[in-house]
Amino acid sequence: SLKKEVEDVPYVRVTGSQDALPSDLIGDLDIGKYREGEIDILAGPLFSAHGSDMPGIVYADELNRFSEYTLIIFTEIMAEWQVSFPKTPITKPLRANVIATMNPYDISGITEVPQHILDRFNARIVVNYPDKETELKIASQHTEYYYKKFAYRLKSLFHPLVSTTRAMRKLGVPLGPRIYLSTLDLLALELSSIGSIDNDTVIQHYENAVRSRIGNLEEDKQSEFLSTASIALRGELEGAKK
C-alpha cells in the first residue's frame, strides 16, 4: 500500500464524499477557547500530513467525490502549503504534497474538478478499464486472498460474472470490477453460512451489487437494466455448465 511505501513520511489518507465539509478535513474553531476570548483551531486529520523536515503526503482518494467548496482546500495546500480557516483570521502551515485518484465522470455523485485545481498537479496518469484477461485475474486474486477456503467453488463463476459485467457496460452504465467482486463477497458468505449456492442465488446477489451502482437511473430504467443483466448472467451460467 502507499502507506507502507512512505512509512517515514507524514501521511494521511482521506476519501472523497459529497457530504464532507472543509471542517471535516482541516478542523474547526475551538469553541471552548473561543468562549474564553481566545481564537484557536482544533486541527483536523489533514494536519497529520504536515512535515517540518520534509513535505508529507495527503492522499485524496476519489478526489472528485468532494464538493467544489471542499476542493478549494487542496488548491491552497498545493499552492501555498498552508490552510486558511473560513470566517477566522487564522492560517496554519500544512507542508504536504497531494496525491489523488479520481473516478470516471460517468459515475453518479461525481464533481467536475475545476481546471485551476487540476493544473496544480504536476502529473496525471490515466488508468484505462482493464481487459477481460486482467479482470479474470482480479476476480481470482480477490477470491484467493479473502476466501481461499471457497476459491475452488467460486472459480467457475469468474467468467460468467466478468463477461456479464463487460456486456452490461456496453449499454452505457459504468459497471466495473466492484460489481463482480461484491457478488463474490456475498456468495462466499452464503457458502460459509449454508454451504451451497445455485444459479438463482448468484443472480440475486449480482442484482443486489448492480442495484447499488444504478441509483441515478429512473426507476423503470433500473428495472429494465436489472432484468437484462439477470437474463445475460443466467445465459452465461448455463453456458458455463455445458
What is the per-residue pLDDT across 191-233, written as a single tens digit (0 to 9) for each? 999 999 999 999 999 999 998 888 777 888 889 999 999 999 9
How far apart CA 205 and CA 214 sit, in angstroms, is: 15
Identify residue 94 by its one-letter amino acid code: L
Q: Which of the four pLDDT bands, split at 50, 70 and 90, describes residue 187?
A: very high
162 near 169, Cβ under 8 Å?
A: no
Give the model's pLDDT for residue 160: 96
Nine-digit cell string for 38: 481566545
Count H helices and E strands in the chain, helices first.
11, 7
Q: Which CATH superfamily is domain 2-118 in?
A: P-loop containing nucleotide triphosphate hydrolases (3.40.50.300)
**Cα three-residue angle 221-161-192, rounded to 5 degrees:** 110
Distance set, CA 145 to CA 137, 149, 189 (Å): 12, 10, 15
At 159, the pLDDT band (50, 70, 90 cuts) reads very high
**Where along the chain do its domains lie?**
2-118, 132-241
Distance between CA atoms of residues 147 and 189, nearest Å = 9
* pTM of the predicted structure, to 2 decimals: 0.72
